[in-house]
Every structure is written in structure tokens, then in C-alpha cells.
Amino acid sequence: MSKFDRIAIVAAIALALGTGVAAANNYRLGRTATPQEIAGWDIEVLADGTGLPAGQGSVSEGEGLYEKHCAMCHGTFGESSNYIPIAGGGDRTVGKHLNAAPTLYDYINRAMPYPHSKSLSPNEVYAIAAYVLNLNDRVPADFVANKDTLPKVEMPAATKYVLFEGLMKIDGKPDTHNTACMKDCAKDVKVTARLPDGFVESMYGDIRDNFNPLYTMNTQAPPASAAATASAEGGGDAKGWQLVQDNGCTACHGLKEAVVGPGFRMVYEKYKADPEAASKHLHQKIHEGGSGVWGQVPMPPQPNLSAGDLDTIVKWLLAGAPDK
């Protein structure tokens, strides 16, 4: 399905919600999406380069940006042994596995850097893409990526991808040809396993309080259940709590619960015995990132925090991570 097919479907759904459904049922819900609203969702870049924006970035510019935003997880030269290697000798690196260079732009633009996705400008995305391609020996050191040059980069996997006709082409042949069996169906369904009671709530809180597809992870609030628990325990300066929400920390850390990384209260319990040493350690850890203390999944560095905000967050952590 092409990019324009997808946009047409989105527009059709918006039109149905805004006019057809409302008129037929008199619900008076919805309206036709504006071109500007549709454009906000239309960030897709296809393998042939369709959708690439204006702008450019060089390999040399990308090196510094990569060190700042990407190296903590992917390694200085893309050869991370703890997370996701994107260069080097592996079979699933960008140079060997990716079939089209514009797809690299698309992914960086959508999802990186974790956990501050969509925070990079087009020029920065182009520069990081150029540097990563250079790490993989796909482009020379003087390469400048833009909407004209990026689609021309030759990728070894370009001819190795096979489309599933029925799933990936709107006019493709079906992937299956058998008819559904409607005989001898089971009359009773037995539940053989369940998640423990409270599992979902303890991990994520009430998902209804967090579900908003227009928000990225760095604008989402922490789970409602965690905030409620913190309120019950109460006390302290809430500025640090606000800062960790504003800076995307709650994407990986619950107030009490571990998510990707430990809960903030878990950090407090670990370091409360020696606040002076803990303060120095946490200042460095948050600013520079790292892994190994709570597992092998690395914490990305937070170099954009001001010295004052970083100090406030550390003091808040060592005060027990209150929410008020």
C-alpha cells in the first residue's frame, strides 16, 4: 500500500467521523480533519525517498550528534555489545540488513533518540543518517545526505527483500487460499492460564489514563496508580517530580514500579544510606548515562538538562521521590 493510499484512508476515516457517521446517526461527533492535522501524521518516508523533507546533513556534522544522542545505546562506532549494534560485523547491522537508505531516515525521525523521539530537526536526522551510513562503509566521509542523495545510496540488501503480495500490495494476490473450517468447532473454551491479579495495574497503571496516540512517550504522564500511591505517602518538593515528567523520565521509570529501568523510589532505597556519595553518583549517572547497576539495558545520557534542573532531580530522588 503506498503512502498516498494510507493518507487517503486516513482522510476517508476522518470524513466518515466528521460527516457521514454524524449525519447518519445524529451523534454530532467529529469533523473533517484539516490538511494541517493530516500533515502532522504524514511523516512517513518510503524506501524510494518519497516523503523526505528539505534540508541536509553531512557525515562530519552527524558525528557529534551521534555521540550526543546515540552512542550510549549503540556504541561509539555503532558496535554496541549491550544493546543494538548498527555497524560492524553483525548480520543485522544497518549496512547489511537495511534495504534502503531513506528507511534509516524514517526510523531515526520517528523513534530516536530514545526516549526523546521526534526531537531532532530534519537537518540533524540527515546528519546522523549520513554518519551511520559512513560507519557502515556505504558512503564516503564527505557525503552530504539530503532528499536527492539519500535515495541513491546503494544498500547490499536492496534485492534481498521479498514483498508479501497480499499484505504489502493493494492489488496483490492473497497469501492464503483455503476456506475457513466451520465444522466440529469447540463448544467450550477453557482458560488454561491467566496473568496474576493486578499485574497490568502494577506495571502500567490504568491504561485509560495514559492512552493518547497523539502524544509521544516524552509527554506522557506516569501511571495513575503510581501517582495515587505517591499522593497517599505524600510530602516533599514536587518540582523534581515535574521535571522528571517534563523530560521523559517516566517513559522508563515509574514512581515506585520498575518499567524499563527502576522505579524512582527503588533508586532512593538503594542510595539513601549515603546521600553525599549518592548525590555525586546520580549527578554523573543521569548526565552521562550508563548500564550495569540495574541490568544491561543502558540508560541514555541526559546532556540537555541544565545544571540546576539536574541538581533538583537528584535532591528530589534522595528526598524519597515525593510527588507533592
- Give residue-wise pLDDT tens across range 161-189: 777 776 766 676 766 666 666 677 777 87
* pLDDT (mean) for 211-235: 38
Confidence of residue 30 (pLDDT cuts 50, 70, 90): confident
pLDDT digits (tens, 9 = 90+) for 233-252: 333 467 898 888 877 788 78
> φ and ψ at 171, to 5 degrees?
-110, 20
pLDDT at 221 over 60: no
For CATH 1.10.760.10, list the domain ranges present in the chain.
44-174, 199-318
Confidence of residue 218 (pLDDT cuts 50, 70, 90): very low
CATH topology assigned to domain 44-174: Cytochrome Bc1 Complex; Chain D, domain 2 (1.10.760)
| CATH number 2.60.40.10 is the correct assignment for the domain at 199-318 | no
pLDDT digits (tens, 9 = 90+) for 35-73: 888 887 889 999 999 999 999 999 999 999 998 888 877
The whole-number pLDDT of residue 203 equals 54
pTM: 0.55
pLDDT at 118 over 90: no
